[in-house]
Chains A and B, each alone.
Chain A
Amino acid sequence: MSSERDHSPTVMRQGLRVIGHAVRAEPRIFTGAVLASSVYGIMTVGSSWALGWATEHAVLPAFRAGHATTGTLVTAALLIVGVAVLKAAGVIGRRVLAGIMQYRMQARSRRDVTRQYLRLPLAWHHRHPTGQLLSNASSDAEAAWAPLAPLPMAVGVVVMLVTAAVAILLVDPVLALVGFLIFPAIAVLNLVYQRRLSPLVMRAQQLRAEVSEIAHESFDGALVVKTLGREDAEAARFQAKADRLRDANIAVGRIRGLFDPLLEALPTLGVLAVLLFGSVRLAGGDVSSGELIQVSYLFTLLAFPVRALGWVLAELPRSVVGWTRVQDVLRASGSMRYGAARLDADGPARLEVRDLSYGYSYDAPVLSGVDFQVRPGRTVAIVGPTGSGKSTLTQLLVRLIDPDGGRVLLDGTDLRDVARGEVSATASLVPQQTFLFDDTVRGNLALGDGGEPVPDEKVWAALRLAQAEGFVSALPKGLDTRVGERGATLSGGQRQRLALARALVRSPRLLILDDATSSVDAQVEGRILYGLREGSPDSTVIVVAYRMATIALADEVVYLEHGRVADHGTHDELLSRCEGYRNLVTAYEREEAERAALGADEEVVA
């Protein structure tokens, strides 16, 4: 906490710089908002002047004389209402323009950040947790521009204070002195208040996020929590965090509870001082009663808006943090570079992988020296133990990530030399984890990029091949049914089949399936695999697989072990010469045999 206070001059400077960016981005709107706010500021002072004028020229003379001049009275009433109307116009203009500016800047940051997400390579995504990226685009973009909401008002308040100072000075220097003591005191008190409050509020917000994270995680893992009987332990973990949030909120409340009444008491004391000293001045004939009322009323009016200065200052630290995080994303470099080569050959693609290596961290390579070739039209199974780098390899094959060393060649062209969009037009990967967009079935399959729409017959053909035709035609709106996060509920197997159809509808020249049928029923899977073999003669197919049924479908097998190609050949070849492969694929059969033997032993023991 103390460190934040030590650094606050820097924070203040950075915060003002952030505001400067916004002002430069929206100069007209900002000017409009400030002008409107100035009208509001001047009219606030004006309303006390109108009241003073009414007291001095309409009320008191009438009381003294015992009769009233209608003209003066009407003027007084019109003055009061007229000033109020102008003030209201200022308020409306200020609020509307401040809102437009704030929301425009937020939207701009969000668009910029998400553009960057789409531009940056997948490797960058791997290095950043999902939650962080989401909050960069939502809450950080919001926090960065939060000071823009009270900013015009704060500027208007400065105008108001200057006008007020002049107005009081014109009335009486002694009363002005009271004002010059009280208002800076309010401003300073408010500054102290916000300085002490903002770290506490930030801590409470942080804890609120942490409470929410625990709830999310615990509920997502409910099955694990429940089946291991850990509900009470989870509840204790959650309660501990909720209690910390409670304490943080109480700490916030203590500061608020102290400063809010003080900030209200200060101008009240100011009015009392004005009454006291004003009476002395009145006795000396230096001020009139109307002026005394005018100044007292001004003090009541100014007390609240002066706090707006504090609101801006309060938002600055949060704004700087949000802005910095947004900038970190925008500054991130390392986008993928594309060449100019095109992949416009017809028929199935030829794939070469040369001395490929890749690691998520420098000391633990996932793949090293991977080398193999796939002739056009062949179906190749990639087999290997869990954690041997198969999924990483599939991502390299469609250039989701670039290798640390070695090359991937499609039709003899290094993927890095291929023009943007060409690889995805040629090769389709169906990843292990199914992802559906919050869109219709058709939208999810076609992913139309403004080009010519995919004809329905083609979509249905792909669905048929993926064994998804049946359940899609049973959906309430068929191809136009919304699926994805907030759409119709589909089972894991159904989602996988849609993801598969998404690849097939493109008639890719290279099709890569990364364990893409794991949630599909065995019978259905069998039909899919059979269909693929018979129905896609124009594709080279790579399948990551464990199951014999899938492997049997392949012309050849690449066997990976510890991130290296341990062997490459037909299933039969590998079976006879590669021990690791043999152990892997015949595990079930050997298990059966051994189990039978063990069972016999057990019976003997029993």
Chain B
Amino acid sequence: MTARVEERRTTLRVEQRSAIGTFRRGLALSPEFRVGLPVTLLLAVLATLGKVIVPIAVQQVIDRGLRGATPDMPFIRNAVLLCAVAVLLTALCGYLMNVRLYRSTESGLASLRGKGFRHVHDLSVLTQNTERRGALVSRVTSDVDQISTFMQWGGLMVLISCGQLLVASVLMAVYSWQLALLVWACFLPLVVVLPRFQRWVAGAYTEVRERTGDMLSAISESVVGSAVIRAYGSEDRTARRIDEAVNAQRNAQTRAQKIVAFTFPITELVGAAAIAGVVLLGVQLGIGGTITAGRLVAFLFLITLFISPLQTATEVLNDAQNAVAGWRRVLGVLDTPADVADPVGGVTLPRGSITVSFQDVGFSYPDGPPVLHEVSVDIAPRTRVAVVGETGSGKTTFAKLLTRLMDPTAGRVVVDGVDLRKVKFSSLRERIVMVPQDGFLFDGTLAHNIRYGRPSATDDDIDLAMTELGLTDWLQGLPAGLATPVGQRGESLSAGERQLVALARAYLADPDLLLLDEATSAVDPATEVRLARALDGVTRGRTAVSIAHRLSTAQAADEVLVFEHGRVVQRGPHAELVRQDGVYADLYASWTSAARTS
């Protein structure tokens, strides 16, 4: 129970930066974004100018080419050709801008992904809080994708839209300030209304995302839980739950689609009203002689330039919000300091038998009560140590401190006379290896997984290791031996077999201290004994520390450490501890009680 409370405390830092601050910090972290930015922006401006070519051409042709009784054909021809060249040039600018934009943003985002991924592996939340892993994955995938979408579409749209509105407004003001004011008066209310629409739309899509999450988890039950569903005949119930989730998601999607459908044409309606207004007012102005026919007609084309930016505005706003939120989350990861850091100029320890000493070690999670108090323990080289105690007694914390998955909050852990915090990571991981209970395997072959701890190992090395571990018999029973694929997370193998592979992996890595966290819980006793013997390698002089809830492990150990309420309350060989009155004697009694009742 205490372990559960601890998990909740180690969460990710919540990033509270403002949108501008996020943007600034993000740009600072990814200098790639700024490479050649001025040129890209210049190209964007030039590309935007292409939008007003048609209104200008229309105005020129009507007011100058068609002014006389007969059209002024040479003028019209020259004007049209000039405009055509301008159109092609601005298209070229558009092409160059796009290519540059994609190149710089994608480079920046790829390295951001990489940095984020590497940093996540330094965060203890990854190993502490398994339920947050999905969220961490999205930090380096979908969150970055959202930034990417914005940079390549939304952000660009903002630039182009603003440019388009600006250029169109300037031209309108030049043609007729009265009509320009009229057009602005028509569109201004939209500027106020659109953010409200965007909130509706965003709310609807948040709902869609949540319902989609529910739906995916309902669907996944039918796949992940397929055995239990069949064993308990609960197919109909599961089907009903899936139907509910699928239909709820469909309804949410339909609702969001309706909101978008009804808000989308509003801009165009306003545009039509503006056009009608321009016709009505323009004619009056024309009669007064303040505007030419060509300019009035050009207005009709210019108004269309207002419609598309405002039509996409809700989407762009959405996009921008998502991008800022995504960026904030990515930065939240990157700005969370690593819980344990590789020391600069760290010590490399020579390989060989290892001495470990816990000196007044204490540990507490941030804002939490201490979970380990003043633990002082020496582990002699070439010994076999068993760590026992009830759930929540601190034995897992002890293991995490020994492997430096966390640092103590008091006292120190010393290896061969050096504080663990001063030992280079690469050296530490070579000398101390932990084998966790769940025997996690990577999607690939058996050989691929066994080699994971020592990539340089040859096939012969692996064969030899399997022989030494006494696993050749088992290996031969597999369809393709070492080339057998283990499936995602090793799911093609049984739990016990996964543990065998995990142990072979650690064995090949050949550390000086091996920490087994109930690493053979699903393996048969004969194999377990054989493995234990091979792993602590009597001849190799390896130290083996086992976290155990089995009597046999404790019996076989040279020394047993008994944990209770975060303290080592007893230590010594099994035979000695059993005779003492204390926690261990109680544990022993309960271990043997089931056997005795028969």
Contacts and interface: CB of A to CB of B under 8 A. Distances in A.
Interface string B49-82: 0100110011001100110001101001100100
A68 B284 contact: yes
Interface in A264-293: 264-265, 268-269, 271-273, 275-276, 279-280, 282-283, 289, 293
B297 A215 contact: no
A552 interface: yes
B538 A598 contact: yes
Contacts of A99: 253-254, 257-258, 261
B98 interface: yes
Contacts of B552: 588, 591
Given A253-B106, A421-B233, A587 B225 contact: no
A125 B223 contact: yes
Contact of A293 (B97, B126, B230, B297): B297
Interface string B122-148: 100011000101001100111001001
B70 A283 contact: yes
Interface stretch (A170-178, A180-188, A383-391): A383-391
Interface string A420-438: 0101110011011101011
A118 B218 CA distance: 12
Contacts of B593: 523, 526, 530
A250 B77 contact: no
Contacts of B477: 364, 387, 562
B254 to A, nearest CB: 5
A520 to B, nearest CB: 9
A371 interface: no
A55 B525 CA distance: 95
A95 B264 contact: yes
B71 A279 contact: yes
B275 interface: yes
B524 A385 contact: yes
B228 A228 contact: no
Interface stretch (B21-29, B317-325, B372-380, B435-443): B435-443
Interface in A176-232: 208, 211-212, 215-232
Interface stretch (B174-182, B194-202, B421-429): B421-429
A100 B253 CA distance: 9
B206 interface: no
Interface string B479-498: 10000000111010011110
B436 A227 contact: yes
Most B CB contacts (10 A, CB to CB) among A269, A471, A499 go to A269
Interface residues of A, number: 176
B478 A364 contact: yes
A84 B269 contact: yes
A117 B120 CA distance: 35
Contacts of A269: 84, 87
A134 interface: yes
B113 A211 contact: yes
A80 interface: yes
Interface string A458-488: 0000000000000100000000000001100
A425 to B, nearest CB: 7
Nearest to B304: A300
Contact of A80 (B4, B84, B279, B506): B279
B569 interface: no
Interface stretch (A4-12, A155-163, A345-353, A543-551): A543-551
B227 A254 contact: no
A587 B231 contact: no
A88 B265 contact: yes
B184 to A, nearest CB: 19
A268 B53 contact: yes
Given A129-B488, A425-B233, A221 B286 contact: no
A591 B529 contact: yes
A318 to B, nearest CB: 17
B433 to A, nearest CB: 6
Most B CB contacts (10 A, CB to CB) among A66, A130, A276 go to A276
A215 B217 contact: no
B7 interface: yes
Given A220-B489, A432-B522, A548-B595, A521 B102 contact: no
A129 B487 contact: yes
Contact of A117 (B222, B234, B276): B222
A333 B133 CA distance: 36
B293 A60 contact: yes
A25 interface: no
A228 B509 CA distance: 8
A234 B232 contact: no
B293 A63 contact: yes
Interface stretch (B243-251, B352-360, B363-371, B410-418): B243-251
B102 A250 contact: yes
A506 B495 CA distance: 27
Contacts of A395: 227
A584 B525 contact: yes
A93 B113 CA distance: 42
Contact of A522 (B232, B526, B587): B587
Nearest to A92: B261
Contact of A530 (B96, B233, B269, B594): B594
B555 A592 contact: yes
B110 A398 contact: no
A261 B246 contact: no
29 contacts: A76-B276, A81-B269, A91-B268, A95-B264, A96-B261, A111-B246, A122-B226, A125-B223, A134-B220, A215-B117, A220-B133, A226-B429, A234-B117, A235-B117, A238-B140, A243-B110, A268-B53, A282-B66, A283-B73, A297-B300, A387-B500, A424-B231, A489-B8, A490-B4, A499-B228, A522-B551, A523-B591, A546-B525, A588-B555
Q: Closest 6 A-B residue pairs measured CB to CB?
A: A229-B429, A253-B102, A257-B98, A424-B233, A84-B272, A99-B257
